[in-house]
Amino acid sequence: MNAPAVKPGVPGRHYRYYDLLMAGFVTVLLCSNLIGPAKVCQLELPFDVPLIGTLLVFGAGNIFFPVSYIFGDILTEVYGFARARKVIWAGFAGMVFASVMTLVVIGLPPSPREPFNATLQPALETVFGGTWRIVVGSILAFWVGDFVNSYVLARMKVWTRGRMLWTRTIGSTLAGQAIDSFIFYPLAFYGVWEGSTLWRVAAFNWVFKVSVEVLMTPLTYAAVGFLKRREREDYFDIGTDFTPFSLED
C-alpha cells in the first residue's frame, strides 16, 4: 500500500466538531484537576509490582486526566498543531479562572447565620484549598506538557507520513506526560515529601497515565477515523510555526 501524500490542511476552514472537542477538553481538564485530586484511592493488587509492592495508592484524578491528552492527540492529528494550540490556551485560561474563583470563594467570610456553613467552609477548604505550589505546579505542568505532546505528535505525523497513528499517540504521551509529572511533583511537593518518595510517585504517575493512553488507543483510532471522514481534514504540519505564543491558525 502506498504511503499517503503529505500535504497541509486548508487554513481558515470551519469545522463541525472542533468546538465540541474544545469544550470536552476543557471540561475533562477542569474536572480532573478540581475534583480528582481531592480523593486518594487505595487498591490491593493480587501481585507484586516492582517499586510499588501490592498496595496501589493514587489520586482519583489520575484516572481521568489522561483523557485530556487523548483529546489533545485527536485535535492535533485531525486539525493540526495551530488549532490544538488554541484549545490548550482555552484550557489554560479555564484553569487560571477556576483557581482564582476558588481562592475568592474560599476567602469570602461565611455567614454565621447559616448553620450549614460550619461544615461547608472546612469542606471547601479541604477539597479545593490547595497550596499555591500545587496550583502553580498543576497549571504550569499542564501547559508545558500539553504543548510538548502536541508538538511531538505533529512532527511525528510528518516523519511517518501519516502512518502508524499509535506510534505518535503513545510517543507524544510518553514525552508530554513525562514533562507534566516531573514538573508538577517537584514544584508541588519538593521539601514536603522525601526525595525518594517524590520521584517514585512521579514515575508511577507517568507510567500510569501512559498506560491509560495505551488502553484507550482503539477509541482514539475510532475517533480520529470518524472525524477525518466527517470533517474531510487530515492536517499535516508542514511549515507550521510551532511557537506556543500565538492564536493564529
DSSP state of 110: P
* Cell reading at 208: 500510569
Give the residue, 206 or 9, on which the prediction is more confident.
206
Mind listing the domains of the chain with CATH numbers? 18-231 (1.10.1760)
- CB-based contact 55:19 (threshold 8 Å): no
In a 10 Å sphere around its CB, with 0-12 CB exposed, 13-18 middle and 19+ buried, how is residue 224 labelled? middle
Backbone dihedral angles phi then psi of residue 59, each to the nearest 5 degrees:
-75, 140
* Cell reading at 233: 481534514
**What percentage of the chain exceeds 70 in pLDDT?**
91
DSSP state of 109: P
**Residue 1: pLDDT over 50:** no
For residue 40, give the 3-state DSSP assignment.
strand
Q: Report d(CA 214, CA 11) in Å as an integer.
A: 31
Q: Report d(CA 197, CA 217) in Å as an integer.
A: 30
User: Using CA atoms in the order 145, 209, 198, 184, what is the torsion angle rounded to 10 degrees?
Assistant: 20
Q: What is the pLDDT of residues 88-142, one digit of tens each?
A: 999 999 999 999 999 999 999 999 999 999 999 998 888 887 778 888 999 999 9
Q: Where are the alpha helices (DSSP H) in 113-164?
A: 117-128, 132-159
Strand partners, 41: 58
pTM of the model: 0.89
Q: Which of 5-9, 71-75, 114-118, 181-185 has the least mean pLDDT?
A: 5-9
